[in-house]
Structure 1
């Protein structure tokens, strides 16, 4: 996790899928056809995307999340939706959370998550979100979410072993020693309709028990697991009316404790935690400030922390690290290019962003990354150009920091 003579480069997980893989994903969902042919295409696609990462200068790659089915070329939710096929106890649903008109209001002393359509950012900019010509949700395909109707269990053993095998084969073919695979956090996995568990705590811990199996399998294979957990930051905007920060952090503490329970005894150096405020393209004026979340994030027993630090809503928050204490053995993985804009960041700006963190935390503990996944959020040409800019910026920063 620590740099020796240059800044390492990585990204937050999702990378653009090829048209062939998107078509195969759709075919497997609607008509399974030939599973062997699909596996051959998937394995080759992972090998290609790892090679592409090497070509653009990524030093700590992954499989592009190609094992997580993407519904369309525009897809903000594959990081989460993949879990629906890997968890037992779920009954397929008919409502997409972005389309649901349900309004759930919190009450004094009881925080409840509302629907995506009733989140505060969307309510405030209702005209923009409902404009069919708006860039905010253009092209997104609806994906219904399931309901918990029985005990949650992990059923994805074959799928995660497939992901591991494809990535390890691709890493070896491209000269990499190791890489990472993203996996859903308990707090995010539990953000579905529940008709079985009696309490929020029971549901979250059931998800923790189930998802632990995926985390452990990835770590035991010698890879790093990235815990994708927007529930820590993004839930803030899904609570209506706005709670106090104190009440929200108390609500969030359950998610943190469940995650620490799920990763207990696993080597921290193989665990990367990813914090974000949601990947959708919107104003984000109701995001909770990072300063209010930083200590909570650091209480998660991960070896490194990935977070948004490049987009216009959060770039200024690098200054928060002046007042934080990061244990010596840990590292930060700040976003230095953003998924939320089509503008390709200049390498000089990327280098400046990297140096800010290096000057506070030390050059050995800063790994350059993206704010969030690029796949399904920006056009493939732009996504790869952003990764090139990230790598070039890291090269410039390395020259300045090591001489």
Structure 2
């Protein structure tokens, strides 16, 4: 029997103790980086051990640190996968300007540009629902976003923080009894979505982010861990372009972000790389998401062994058929989302098995790892999140037996 392995997309629920300890840290003079304390470091190290042990107890095959080093000061947080990097990069500054509600930017054929967050097409089509606090739609509390006001670089603080992540996670792996794991890191394309008040050129700003992120990727890989590149910009950007671009223009725009990932990964072994693609993770209609069939061939151009993508939520579950038409190279593995962060309903293990079997019958069970659509931490209640992971593991066992 070929066992179908299990993992998840990254973020896991933080413990109340970790959230409280993080929220209690004093903020430094730059307004971005909270001051470290010995007490906080101790709480964080123990929390990483606990979350790795919880994954082992449930039966997750390939764990991570829950992204606990990507800190959250509250139980609900949709943006820590991105905002964590603000602590690690020099050249960023809180300017006092509200970039989130900036004037809308308009695109044109051959000149694709991202608009402001409130001008996203899904948000404007369903404006009444988004503005109704009883609708169930939530994007989480938005952090204060900095702007690049000078040359950006991966800072000494960044090197210390990624080293702390690695040390905590490797200690937890050894203590709990895992022989492998992964750490998540931001993509250059996603980093470059903050406001640029220095470079004045989108391509130059993207190039700068390639140089920023490379040291983090290399540090994780050098520690013998797998690097997961978190990159919603590949798919989510499509909703943030007004008016809607042609598929051809969007893919040309996006290929630059794919190239940026590959350049940042130049010194990281392919077998130690996995790439996570998602459509943004907020709890909303998502009617303006680009179809996966347009992105799958481009996804395979990324220099990774493992490809993680949403496949469980109701906007994208049907797209498992894409792999009937797109040939997966023999040395690659798909990591589809089999349980979703977008619903509080816990998927039945038999449904999990059915979803896994669809992929396994196309590419082979040895080239499928069951995962989550996106991070569960900060998006659904911890009790539900852990129940979903338990169902994922049980369903993978059923599918392995059937196959």
Match of 1:223 among 219, 225, 238: 225
CA contact under 8 A between 2:6 and 2:396: conserved in structure 1?
A: yes
Deviation at 1:94, TM superposition (A): 3.9
Deviation at 1:358, TM superposition (A): 0.5
Distance 2:26 2:268 in 1: 34
Cα 1:236–1:29 change in 2 (3 A) is farther
Deviation at 1:203, TM superposition (A): 0.6
Task: Write out per-residue CA displacement over residues 283-307 of structure 1, whole angstroms, 9 at most, x where no aligned residue.
Answer: 0010000001011111001011000
Match of 1:305 among 287, 304, 307: 307
CA contact under 8 A between 1:27 and 1:33: conserved in structure 2?
A: no
Residue ranges of structure 2 left out of the alignment (5+ in a row): 29-33
Distance 1:391 1:276 in 2: 22
Aligned length: 396
Distance 1:103 1:185 in 2: 24
Distance 1:20 1:55 in 2: 21
Distance 2:369 2:265 in 1: 22
Partner in structure 1 of residue 22 of structure 2 = 25
CA contact under 8 A between 1:67 and 1:163: conserved in structure 2?
A: yes
Distance 2:363 2:207 in 1: 34
Deviation at 1:133, TM superposition (A): 2.4
Task: Write out per-residue CA displacement over residues 96-151 of structure 1, whole angstroms, 9 at most, x where no aligned residue.
Answer: 66x5253111134211111221100000000011112232127x333111111111
Task: Write out per-residue CA displacement over residues 15-55 of structure 1, whole angstroms, 9 at most, x where no aligned residue.
Answer: 00011111111112548677101000000000000000111
The yes-or-no answer on 1:141 pairing with 2:141 is: yes
The yes-or-no answer on 1:131 pairing with 2:132 is: yes
Match of 1:12 among 9, 13, 22: 9
Distance 2:331 2:36 in 1: 47
Distance 1:367 1:271 in 2: 14
Partner in structure 2 of residue 179 of structure 1 = 181
Distance 1:95 1:54 in 2: 45
Write the mapping of 1:94-243 to structure 2, written as runs, cut at 5 A.
94=96, 100=101, 102-137=103-138, 140-155=140-155, 156-243=158-245
Distance 1:34 1:282 in 2: 36
Q: CA RMSD in A?
A: 1.5
Partner in structure 1 of residue 389 of structure 2 = 387
Given the two structures, how large is their TM-score scaled by the length of structure 2?
0.96
Partner in structure 1 of residue 31 of structure 2 = none
Distance 1:215 1:262 in 2: 8
Which is worse superposed, 100-109 or 390-399? 100-109
CA contact under 8 A between 2:20 and 2:73: conserved in structure 1?
A: no
Which is worse superposed, 217-226 or 322-331? 322-331
Write the mapping of 1:257-296 to structure 2, written as runs, cut at 5 A.
257-296=259-298
Distance 2:274 2:138 in 1: 29
CA contact under 8 A between 1:12 and 1:274: conserved in structure 2?
A: yes
Match of 1:48 among 47, 50, 53: 50
| SS across alignment from 2:387 | helix
Cα 1:29–1:208 change in 2 (3 A) is farther
The yes-or-no answer on 1:72 pairing with 2:69 is: no
CA contact under 8 A between 2:273 and 2:306: conserved in structure 1?
A: yes
| SS across alignment from 1:145 | coil
Residue ranges of structure 1 left out of the alignment (5+ in a row): none
Deviation at 1:93, TM superposition (A): 4.2
CA contact under 8 A between 2:26 and 2:35: conserved in structure 1?
A: no
Distance 1:391 1:102 in 2: 46
Distance 2:332 2:35 in 1: 46
Cα 1:178–1:397 change in 2 (3 A) is same
Task: Write out per-residue CA displacement over residues 176-211 of structure 1, whole angstroms, 9 at most, x where no aligned residue.
Answer: 001000000000000010011131111111101110
Distance 2:137 2:96 in 1: 23
Cα 1:173–1:95 change in 2 (3 A) is farther
| SS across alignment from 2:180 | coil
Distance 1:386 1:204 in 2: 36
| SS across alignment from 2:90 | strand
Distance 1:33 1:148 in 2: 21
| SS across alignment from 1:293 | helix
Distance 2:26 2:347 in 1: 36
